[in-house]
Structure 1
Amino acid sequence: MAYWQDRAAQRRVWAIALPLILSNISVPLVGLVDTAVIGHLDAAYHLGAVAVGSTLFTFVVWLAGFLRMGTTGFAAQACGEGDGAELRRILLQSAWLAVLISLLVWLLRTPLLELGLHYLNSSAELLEHARAYFQIRLISLPAALINFVLIGWFIGAQNSRAPFAILLTVNLVNIALDLLLVALLGLGVEGAAWASVCGDLCGLLLGLALLGPVLRQYPGRFNWLRAVQLKGAALLLRVNRDILIRTLALQSVFYLLVVQGARLGDEVVAANAVLLNFLLITSHALDGLAHALEALGGHALGKRDRRALRQVLVITTGWSLLLSLAFMLAFALGGDLLIALLTDLPGVRAQAQQYLGWVAIMPLVTVWSYLLDGLFIGASRALAMRNTMLLALVCYLPLAWGLQGLNNHLVWFGFLTFMALRSLFLGGWFAWLWRADRWMPAS
């Protein structure tokens, strides 16, 4: 209770969390606008195509989510130690990794796309538009990945205003161009893709412009040659490798959700796309508090301050639970209205309303995984994140296999089960490390 009543600690948490919650909410807001604009076109396959195309692109981008997660933990610890040279090395090497990954994806884009679409039993119109959407989105892949690096680096440096500005810019540009290109000019699915490309590029330009003030707080020099050669990056690469494997497992589950819905028809996959916006709203809002735990928890680890770590853990957990309860109540009472705003297709509306109960209870199940991810990211404990995610996936896959092609209620039940297992395994790992006094080494 003493930790919760510490007003100075509450202010430190909210100084980081509030701007990130507000900016993170703008991310699913783009998805809502995409869904609302495309969902009012004349056929369900338009909405399904955006769902499939954006899922494939998000699969690629979130596979590189280690660029943000790995950068945050190391940057937070470097700030705790006051090491400006290390802070610069982490920034340059992570950005260089983003460029290399983008080049690799560009080279492999055709087989990646065909592999992603191969298992979908969808209409020819849906697949054609999904291909066009994915190809256009790849143009801004380097910008999207470097934005990940910048956001993670700023969060680690306990600067939440810069990520707020970057994300807000990306998403406001995206929304404005969505309305212009799709609603006014009638460019359809391709117009939605171009809107996202322009948003990513604008966010990158702003992020680079905001680096100066933070760098001046931590004096040091850039070593460009060392960064390009990835010297001293062994630990960063090892952590990023583990987060990559962990993210691949997580994205496989989201992809399975799309595939299982697609096999039940275009209306079902479109309805699931609508409902996933509920999950995105919850996750991005709760991630603001998880990011605060990353930054302050990593900073406490760098300073070897056990009390500060306990304090930020208590405060972020309490507020995350309250926020998840608020989302659950809002979805239960206002979910039908939100579905109606997102699409006017009667079949898609009916399907989404039928499965609304699953996403209404989702916040209380998923909140634990977001918090625990933040705790482990701040400590750069990627190996534990990888192993627990793989264990949850191994437990989930037989269930997903047995439920395929049966019923969309069972698809959502399987997804909810996976999220619960993910939290249970990671929470158990943390409890073991904490009780064994192995979370924060003495020196």
Structure 2
Amino acid sequence: MSLAIPAIFAGIAEPLISLTDLAIIGQIPENSATALAAVGTVGSFLSAIIWTIAQTKTSISSIVSRALGAGELTKASVLIPQAIWLNISLGLLIYVITYFLAPTIFHFYTNEKPVLDIAVSYYKIRAFGFPFTLCAFAIFGIFRGIQNTSWAMIASLTGAAVNIILTYILVLGSPFSESYGIEGAAIASVIAQATLLLVALFFLYKKTSYRITLPDFNNLYLLKKHVQLTANFFLRTLAINVAIYLSYRYANNYGIEQAATHAILMNIWLFFSFLIDGFANAGNALGGKLLGSKDPDSLLYLSKKTNGYGIAIALILAILCGVAYPFLGHLFTDNSEVLKLLSITFWLVLVMQPINAVAFVYDGIFKGWGEASYLRNLLWILTGFVFIPVLLILDYFNLELFAIWLAFFTWMLGRSVLLHLKFKQKIKELL
């Protein structure tokens, strides 16, 4: 719990930034549905990139935590500057490439010119934060590997607080500044990401012995392992992003109101996912450590506890949102058509939460074990043979948003069941 609770607060910072942008942008007097659809579309692509590059954090955590469990932590120190500089370089590369390709990228999501123009303008500013985010992710991976998630929590919540305050001021204006509209939300997000990194650097230098020095390229053993793990985690996450991309593509084809509704549903779903994912992060840190020390009994205990807590949190979230069901939509928009669509589809997101919890917990434990290739194969199989067929069949029957979210439901159910069975098999092998 000392790992999971801070990890929960750290994990919700990024989706909280996206939810804040949606809630405040939805209050813009003119064309709020178009603005929501545009920001939601960018949010989908940003989630794809961030989820993919966040796997560098998971890989570092896995290597460091297993070294900690085996009593060989000093051997991992050479990896730290190598991984951090690799992430910074990767962030700059992604920014430069996607900045110039932004019109082409978002054309794949939507053909609505007003939505496309706003999306490109918003993205070109917000993407400037990629190098900050990737550097912070590498540092967070170190913290988690040495069994500390509190420092990442403080950094993430500080960044989220800065984002909320600045987004409100820059989007809607204040007595001391003019309104910058959607561009203001992007500027606020970049400043928040820079703030988050500064806080992370403070803890790295104040609380650990690690420093961002020039990397040692004479010892590349752990860096090669890190890159191999990260590549498989990348491919795993790419399968998730294919599902999310298709969901936005279909939602945009259904109309602007449907696209805006899907953007709200997806961002709430991601917020819930990152919140519950705190227990997965604890499983990631402890799972690697316990495998390193070869302790199957404690791994079994870890699984039961983290699943129990994850399901409990999921049920609490579902109940609270069920009580607030008639009012939640108004936090994001006053568009009557969007509110109507939300009222008839949001229950699907709530029903999925306990199933999601089980999938996320096992996913975190398997990441800690370094089981990147298994997770990669599982996600591609489920995306190709469950999510896509269900989406296509239900879309054929004109179920629109229901087609999308029932596809996600069956996809998550498959993840939770198959990961549970694989975990039981792994424990038997260790006993």
On whether the aligned pair clears a TM of 0.5, the verdict is yes
CA contact (8 A) 2:125 2:183 kept: yes
In the alignment, structure 1 residue 245 sits paired with structure 2 residue 238: no
User: Does 1:116 find its partner at 2:105?
Assistant: yes
Question: Is the CA contact 2:103–2:116 (under 8 Å) kept in the aligned structure 1?
Answer: no
The partner residue of 1:277 within 239, 252, 267 is: 267
SS in 1 for 2:370: coil
2:386 is the alignment partner of 1:399: no
The residue type equivalent to 1:378 in the other structure is G
- Letter aligned with residue 96 of structure 1: W
Aligned to 1:150: 139
User: Quick one: which amino acid aligns to residue 154 of structure 2?
Assistant: A
2: distance between equivalents of 1:366 and 1:192? 30
Match of residue 58 from structure 2: 69
**Equivalences for 1:293-372 in 2 at 5 Å?**
293-372=283-362
Post-superposition CA distance 1:345-369 (Å, at most 9, x none) = 2121111112111111020221111
The residue identity in structure 2 corresponding to 1:397 is I
Aligned twin of 1:389: 379
Query: In structure 2, how many angstroms separate the alpha carbons of the residues matched to 1:227 and 1:344?
Result: 56
Displacement of 1:134: 1.2
Question: Once the 2 structures are TM-superposed, how far is the Cα of residue 399 of structure 1 from its aligned partner?
Answer: 2.7
Q: Flag the 1:177–1:230 CA change in 2: closer, same or farther, 3 A.
A: farther
Pick aligned residue for 2:163 from 157, 170, 174? 174
Scaled by the length of structure 1, the TM-score of the pair is 0.89
1:251-290 equivalent positions in 2, closer than 5 A: 251-290=241-280
Cα distance, 1:289 vs structure 2: 1.2
The aligned residue for residue 418 of structure 2 is: 425
Q: Say which SS state the counterpart of residue 15 (structure 1) adopts.
A: coil
Amino acid at match of 2:335: L
State the alpha-carbon separation in 2 of the partners of residues 327 and 149 from structure 1.
30
Residue 142 of structure 1 deviates from its aligned partner by 0.6
| TM-score, with length taken from structure 2 | 0.92
Residue of structure 1 in register with 2:25 after alignment? 38
Matched with 2:11 is: 24
Contact 2:81 2:215 (C-alpha < 8 Å) held by counterparts? no
What SS does the corresponding residue of 1:355 show, helix, strand or coil?
helix
Q: Could you tell me how far 1:254 is from its partner in structure 2?
A: 1.0
Q: 1:210 aligns with which of 203, 225, 230?
A: 203
Please name the residue that 1:54 is paired with. 43
- Confirm or deny: 8 A CA contact 1:271 1:351 kept in the other structure: yes
**How big is the shift at 1:110?**
5.1
Q: 1:208-238: per-residue Cα shift (whole Å, max 9, x none)?
A: 111135434xxx8987342598454222111
Secondary structure in structure 2 of the residue aligned to 1:237: helix
Describe the shift of the 1:433–1:231 C-alpha distance in structure 2 as closer, same or farther (beyond 3 A).
Answer: closer
Compared CA separation, residues 222 and 82, structure 1 to 2 (3 A): farther
Identity in percent: 27
Structure 2 unpaired stretches of 5+: none
Aligned to 1:4: none
With over 3 angstroms needed to count, the CA separation of the structure-2 counterparts of 1:19 and 1:120, relative to structure 1, is closer
Describe the shift of the 1:112–1:397 C-alpha distance in structure 2 as closer, same or farther (beyond 3 A). farther
Distance (Å, rounded) in 1 between the aligned partners of 2:73 and 2:212: 9
Could you tell which deviates more after superposition, 244-253 or 91-100? 91-100
Give the counterpart letter for 2:52 in structure 1. L
In the TM superposition, residue 428 of structure 1 has moved relative to its aligned partner by 2.7
**AA in 2 matched with 1:187:** Y
Instruction: Return the alpha-carbon distance in structure 2 between the equivalents of residues 376 and 338 of structure 1.
Output: 35
Q: Answer yes or no: is the 8 Å Cα contact 2:356–2:416 preserved in 1.
A: yes
Bigger shift: 169-178 or 304-313? 304-313
Cα deviation code 1:293-317 (max 9, x no counterpart): 1112212222222333222222211
The one-letter amino acid paired with 2:184 is G
Q: Deviations over 1:180-208 (max 9, x none)?
A: 10021321211111111001111111111
Deviation at 1:392, TM superposition (A): 0.6
The question of whether the paired residues in 2 share the 8 Å contact of 1:40 and 1:345 is answered with: no
SS of 2:282's partner is helix
Which stretch shows the higher mean deviation, 188-197 or 301-310? 301-310
| Other-structure match for 1:3 | none
Task: Provide Cα deviations, 1:34-82, integer angstroms capped at 9, x if missing partner.
Answer: 1111111121111111111122222222221211111111111122234
Q: Is the 8 A contact 1:39 1:47 kept in 2?
A: yes
Q: Provide the aligned length of Structure 1 versus Structure 2.
A: 422
Q: 1:280-300: per-residue Cα shift (whole Å, max 9, x none)? A: 232122111111111122122
2:194 is the counterpart of 1:201: yes
Distance 1:229 1:52, change over 3 A: farther
Partners of 2:260 and 2:161 in 1: CA distance: 24
